[in-house]
């Protein structure tokens, strides 16, 4: 979480060549109000410029410069993230862009764009659009989230939850789907052309019954091979199903662990709050000899007894908090193990779906082979011009490629379903933002 502390600027908009400083570290500043011209928008523009190098409002960047001095624009912002303290100095004429972490200047890239990318992705972990939607809100320029375009809403959510990789994967997948569709269309055209040639040859063939038997035997062999492949895949499916069932039995306690973890977390916060209060009370007696309210001297005996009592209570609470933390870590470890099992279940489910797709493709292929056998038996063959076996072999290869492409199409469609907004991204968003 970003905790802003100070914001300073000079030669910024209407301010002159002296620093204007805003203290944002009072712990309660969430809303800034004032009359028109009081400088509310200046604060937002200064904060946006220092962090992202662009104004918060829809104005040109050069307009941020004081038009009288027309130089030495400087904006500084200080903030904390976790235990690290950061300070950013950004200016124009001359151009300045420096990022300090714990009072040390971070390594500067030769390209300012790369330095800005490091700031947004590794430190702030938010871009300008998301910053304008969830960190600071200006009444003049704020546009409600649901009024944004679908693309802008998706961009903000993906940035907040780090889901951009799925959009990239989906773009690559679309190219593969186009290639797959083109391959299927080409193979289908080749099948039609080759089938037409075969039919033309069949019309001119006369005494080729022996070839018919050969073709039928070849296709029966393929059917037998296909049956064997289907049997093997079915056995693999059964193994995967048993494994999924076994893994699911290990996740039955997930809900109880979740409830326990939430309960421990709530209890931990309450104990820490109580401990903080006791520490403040002890520090009060250490720091003050007189009551700051009534100005009377605090009795030393009373002070000593109170400090000893509070210190003893603090020790007991810290011991209890330590045990509670150990229990929390233990429960969290068990829950993480269950999450790993759920991930393994998901992987096995994907494998199971892949096996089922292959079985479906082989069954279609087997049905096609049987249809061709029936067609050969019913057709009236005339003569073999020595081209028919070659054409049939080519057709077999094309059919194998065609059904393989169809199988790949189903896999790509399944992947497409997972990469849509309602797929993996939806599951991740529900994980972060559960809907009761």
Per-residue pLDDT tens for 84-104?
999 999 999 999 999 999 989
Q: Which has the minimum average pLDDT: 41-50, 199-208, 266-275, 386-395?
A: 199-208
What confidence score (pLDDT) does residue 357 get? 92
Shared domain check, 358 and 341: no
pLDDT of residue 69: 85
pTM of the shown model: 0.36
Instruction: Determine the Cα–Cα distance for residues 196 and 190; give it in Å rounded to an integer.
Output: 10
pLDDT digits (tens, 9 = 90+) for 156-186: 555 555 555 666 676 787 888 888 888 889 9
Most confident region among 4-13, 115-124, 197-206, 329-338 by mean pLDDT: 4-13
Q: Are residues 222 and 262 in the same domain?
A: no
Residues 123 and 63 in one domain: yes
Mean pLDDT of the residues in the chain: 77
Residue 114 lies in a domain: yes
* Domain stop point among 125, 149, 173: 149
Q: Is the pLDDT of residue 436 over 50?
A: no
pLDDT at 352 over 70: yes
CA-closest candidate to residue 2, choices 51, 44, 55: 51
CB distance 229 to 362 below 8 Å: yes
* 31 within a domain of the structure (yes/no): yes
User: Is the same domain home to 339 and 361?
Assistant: no
Residue 375 forms part of a structural domain: yes
Helix, strand and coil content of the chain, in percent to the nearest 5, comes to 65, 10, 25
Q: Are residues 304 and 362 in the same domain?
A: no
- 180 with 314, same domain: the answer is no
| Residue percentage of the chain with pLDDT more than 90 | 13
Q: Could you tell me if 61 and 112 lie in one domain?
A: yes
- Are residue 44 and residue 140 in the same domain, yes or no? yes
Residue 293's CATH number: 1.10.287
The CATH number that applies at residue 41 is 3.40.50.300
Based on the fold, state whether residues 297 and 405 are members of the same structural domain. no
Does residue 6 form part of some domain? yes
- Could you tell me if 286 and 311 lie in one domain? yes
In-domain check, residue 337: yes
Q: In what helix (H) or strand (E) does residue 10 lie, and over which residues does it extend?
A: strand 2-10
Share of the chain above pLDDT 70, in %: 74
CA distance 217 to 210: 11
For 283-302, what is the mean pLDDT?
Answer: 67
Average pLDDT (180-195) is 88
Q: Count how many domains the chain has.
A: 3
Tell whether the model's pLDDT for residue 147 goes beyond 50.
yes
Claim to verify: residue 101 and residue 134 sit in the same structural domain: yes
Q: Provide the domain limits for residue 96.
A: 2-149
| Residue 249 belongs to a domain | no
Q: Are residues 124 and 169 in the same domain?
A: no
Q: Contact at 8 Å (CB) between 98 and 88?
A: yes
Give residue 381's pLDDT: 47
Domain-ending residue, one of 329, 346, 363: 346
**Residue 192 belongs to some domain of the structure:** yes
Sorted by sequence, the CB contacts under 8 Å of residue 95 that are 6+ apart come out as 112
Buried residues in 347-368 as b, exposed as e (16+ CB within 10 A): ebeeebebbebbbebbeebbee
Residue where a domain stops, chosen among 311, 346, 381:
346
pLDDT category at 364 given cuts 50, 70, 90 is: very high
Q: Is residue 157 part of a domain?
A: no
Output 244 or 309, whichever has higher pLDDT: 244
């Amino acid at each position: 979480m970003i905790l802003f502390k100070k914001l300073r600027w000079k030669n910024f908009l209407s301010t002159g060549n002296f620093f204007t400083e805003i203290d944002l570290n009072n712990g309660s500043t969430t809303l800034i109000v004032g009359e028109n011209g009081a400088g509310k928008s200046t604060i937002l523009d200064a904060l946006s410029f220092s962090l992202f190098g662009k104004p918060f409002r829809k104005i040109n960047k050069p307009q941020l410069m004081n038009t009288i001095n027309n130089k030495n624009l400087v904006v500084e912002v200080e903030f904390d993230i976790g235990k690290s303290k950061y300070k950013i100095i950004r200016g124009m004429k001359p151009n300045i862009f420096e990022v300090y972490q714990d009072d040390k200047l971070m390594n500067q890239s030769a390209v300012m764009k790369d330095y800005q990318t490091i700031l947004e992705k590794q430190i702030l972990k938010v871009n300008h659009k998301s910053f304008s939607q969830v960190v600071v809100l200006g009444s003049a320029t704020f546009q409600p989230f649901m009024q944004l375009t679908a693309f802008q809403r998706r961009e903000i959510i993906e940035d907040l939850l780090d889901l951009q990789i799925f959009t990239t994967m989906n773009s690559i997948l679309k190219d593969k789907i186009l290639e797959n569709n083109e391959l299927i269309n080409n193979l289908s055209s080749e099948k039609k052309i080759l089938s037409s040639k075969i039919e033309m040859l069949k019309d001119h063939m006369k005494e080729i019954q022996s070839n018919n038997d050969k073709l039928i035997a070849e296709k029966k062999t393929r059917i037998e091979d296909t049956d064997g492949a289907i049997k093997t895949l079915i056995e693999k499916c059964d193994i995967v199903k048993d494994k999924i069932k076994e893994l699911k039995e290990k996740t039955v306690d997930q809900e109880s662990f979740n409830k326990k973890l939430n309960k421990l977390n709530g209890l931990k916060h309450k104990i820490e709050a109580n401990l903080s209060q006791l520490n403040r009370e002890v520090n009060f007696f250490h720091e003050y000899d007189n009551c700051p309210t009534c100005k009377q001297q605090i009795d030393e005996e009373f002070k000593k007894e109170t400090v000893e009592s509070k210190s003893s209570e603090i020790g007991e609470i810290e011991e209890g908090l330590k045990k509670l933390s150990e229990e929390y870590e233990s429960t969290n470890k068990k829950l993480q193990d269950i999450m790993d099992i759920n991930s393994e279940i998901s992987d096995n489910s994907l494998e199971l779906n892949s096996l089922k797709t292959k079985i479906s493709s082989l069954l279609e292929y087997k049905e096609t082979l049987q249809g061709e056998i029936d067609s050969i038996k019913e057709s009236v063959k005339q003569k073999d011009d020595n081209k028919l076996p070659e054409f049939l072999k080519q057709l077999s290869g094309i059919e194998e490629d065609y059904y393989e492409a169809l199988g790949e199409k189903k896999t790509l469609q399944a992947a497409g379903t997972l990469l849509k907004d309602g797929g993996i991204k939806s599951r991740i968003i529900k994980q972060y933002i559960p809907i009761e």
